[in-house]
Structure 1
Amino acid sequence: MDEQSIECEAGCIDIEEFCGRLAESLLLCHSVEPPPDHIRKDYHPADECTCFKTEFTVHITSKSPGILFLMPNAIMKFQPAFPPSSQAASLSYLNERTRIPIPTVFHECIEHRHPFLVTSRTHGQDLRSAWSALSGDAKKRIAMQAAAHLSDMRSLTSDRIEAVGHLPLHERALFGAAGQKPLSSDDELWDRLRQPLASEDVDEDTLALLRGKMPRGTPYTFTHCDLTFSNIMVKDGSFAGFIDFERAGFFPVWYEYVMCRHGIDEEDVEWKKLLSGQMVDQHPKAMNWFLALKGLGVEPHGGETERWVKAVRDGSEECPVMMRDW
């Protein structure tokens, strides 16, 4: 298949031409105008459409707002204008260097000021949908397979904390909503992470403790950042691939593990326990350090924050998997 074309029900079509026509049809699904730029990041024009037709049939599911399935082997994703996504660059970077099962980028375009991304489709179902029907052995097998591919991903490093292409990162859990330009050292990282603590009246002794116990960030490692079970594809009881690389980039070596110790619900917590337990490089002290940092930025004198600060002071390697969506 030509790199600039894709097969669909109507045969082989030019992606760039189709992308423009499809994007225009998608935005015309609603009879109302798109919202202003400052709230467009949460706007999915396909939210209320169950299906529509251009010259080709496209289906939109309520579980995947903004994702169009170009049957049978590709999808088009509507991407918010902010934060800007480096997903296409991350996917291309990984596909050039690894054999990890991830989508292939066919085309990326901006139509009517909205970014769209066309990629190959990973067949199977997301782990969240499959979870209740899987046996305990199958869940453990999927975690082992995912962790093995994750090790390949984590062999890729950079000398800076950055998105692929030397671009800023937009990782809310670490840097807040504004994003962060590339950082070249752990000292620069600390200077950035301590900024929210200045307004919370955190005492100098606690700041000195955090800086002294800050986990080493190098090598800055390629990190998915969002390995919730909604972003794991499975087929026939086995791992089939990673999807959704919107948050990916080069992060401190401990950050993937920390993000794998948080779940969005009870089933995701169960999945994260299995996955983080299979990861080759584990960073429990970094998890406690991160929890102390986040707690001090929200409730510096709260009982939970004090427990995390004490865990950092004591060098504890006990850390929970928590139900929390950063």
Structure 2
Amino acid sequence: MQSPARLTEPDLNSAPVVYEPACGGRKLVRLGDKAIKYGVGISQQEADTMTFVRTHTSIPVPRVYDFYHDEKGHGYIIMDYIRGDTLENRWKHLDSAAKDKIAAQLRRYMDELRRIPAPSPVYIGGVNRTQAHDLRNGDALGGPFVSETEFNEWLLSRVLPQVQRTLVVPYLREQLEAQTARKAHAIVFTHSDFHPRNIMVEGDEVVGWLDWEVAGWFPEHWEFIKAMKPVKTDWLEYLAVIIDEHLDEYLLDSVLNSSLDRF
């Protein structure tokens, strides 16, 4: 394969598309044994995060070979191509034994992620003290934050103006403060978009964990909150095996989520 820095638009346009989101603006294509993720919003932070996780764990994260921006400001990550299929595609075809085995593997990887030593001084945000992402509001960026209280205030600041004028925000603030005081959440390394579409499998073996663009240091309940996405399978029954449950935090965040300004 030619040097990534010399890849041309025709090279990329002729490459097989592995994934392209419905919203457009970015693609994942395959060139030989490499995958190229490129387009709007593809950042150095994601490339650095992948290298960081590979360095500190045995999680099967694609090796990153290069990152660069083109003249339009679009980012390009050149990494290993991971063979297999997404767990989202395979899940309904797996028997209970295979599901149990995959869930156990993912739990081990999740525990490894949590054991990465926190930075000192601790903060909430991306690797190398970059900003925190929250994908439910497009891709909102804030921080890095020095405390969970500061992080919560950022979340509250994004509530719709008309809701800001009601009693909802004071109630949420009071509940978030009480929750933080009561539980003293640890700040741990978090994927923040844990979903079967981001897990690659071959048979009953996990061979890849993808899409680290919103990962970073977050309160310990954040992974569970962000992973609780409705699905039409029994996936959520296995989620409790993989990630520690934080139901109180999830329910409170659901109230916050319903009040966010999404535009």
**TM-score scaled to structure 1, two decimals?**
0.68
- Contact 1:79/1:117 (8 A) holds in 2: no
1:295 aligns with 2:258: yes
1:185 aligns with 2:170: no
Q: 1:112 to 1:197 in 2, by over 3 A?
A: closer
Amino acid at match of 2:17: I
| 1:75 aligns with one of 26, 30, 35 | 35
Report the equivalent of 1:272: 236
What are structure 1's unaligned runs of at least 5 residues? 1-7, 28-45, 47-51, 53-57, 299-326
* Superposition map of 1:200-279 within 5 A: 200=163, 201-203=165-167, 204-205=170-171, 207-214=173-180, 216=183, 218-263=185-230, 265-267=231-233, 270-274=234-238, 276-279=239-242
CA distance, structure 1, for counterparts of residue 76 and residue 20 of structure 2: 18
Report the equivalent of 1:145: 105
CA displacement, residues 138-175 of structure 1 (integer Å, 9 cap, x when unaligned): 122211211111110111234101111111122233x7
User: Highest relative contact order (Cα 8 Å, sep 6+), 1 or 2?
Assistant: 2
CA distance, structure 1, for counterparts of residue 20 and residue 157 of structure 2: 37
Q: CA deviation at 1:85?
A: 5.5
Report the equivalent of 2:134: 171
Query: Is the radius of gyration larger for structure 1 or structure 2?
Result: 1
Q: CA deviation at 1:207?
A: 3.9
Q: CA deviation at 1:246?
A: 1.3
Q: CA deviation at 1:98?
A: 1.3
- Contact 1:24/1:111 (8 A) holds in 2: no
Question: How many residues of Structure 1 are paired with residues of Structure 2 in the alignment?
Answer: 248
Report the equivalent of 1:118: 78
CA distance, structure 2, for counterparts of residue 190 and residue 62 of structure 1: 34
- Contact 2:188/2:218 (8 A) holds in 1: yes
Q: CA deviation at 1:181?
A: 1.9
- Contact 2:42/2:75 (8 A) holds in 1: no
Q: CA deviation at 1:20?
A: 3.0
CA distance, structure 2, for counterparts of residue 63 and residue 296 of structure 1: 30
Amino acid at match of 1:257: F
CA distance, structure 2, for counterparts of residue 261 and residue 223 of structure 1: 14
CA distance, structure 1, for counterparts of residue 184 and residue 76 of structure 2: 33
Amino acid at match of 2:129: H
**DSSP 3-state at the match of 2:158:** helix
| 2:59 aligns with one of 100, 111, 130 | 100
- Contact 1:186/1:217 (8 A) holds in 2: no
| 2:115 aligns with one of 149, 155, 179 | 155
**DSSP 3-state at the match of 2:127:** coil
CA distance, structure 1, for counterparts of residue 101 and residue 38 of structure 2: 33
Q: CA deviation at 1:198?
A: 7.3
CA distance, structure 1, for counterparts of residue 9 and residue 211 of structure 2: 24
- Contact 2:84/2:201 (8 A) holds in 1: yes
Report the equivalent of 1:36: none
CA distance, structure 1, for counterparts of residue 160 and residue 38 of structure 2: 38
Amino acid at match of 1:170: H
* Superposition map of 1:34-45 within 5 A: none
**TM-score scaled to structure 2, two decimals?**
0.83
Amino acid at match of 1:67: L
**DSSP 3-state at the match of 1:100:** coil
Q: CA deviation at 1:59?
A: 2.0
CA distance, structure 2, for counterparts of residue 128 and residue 61 of structure 1: 15
**DSSP 3-state at the match of 1:95:** helix
Q: Percent identity?
A: 21
- Contact 1:261/1:273 (8 A) holds in 2: no
Report the equivalent of 1:194: 156
CA distance, structure 2, for counterparts of residue 62 and residue 261 of structure 1: 23
| 2:47 aligns with one of 88, 91, 102 | 88
Report the equivalent of 1:20: 5
- Contact 2:200/2:208 (8 A) holds in 1: yes
**DSSP 3-state at the match of 1:149:** helix
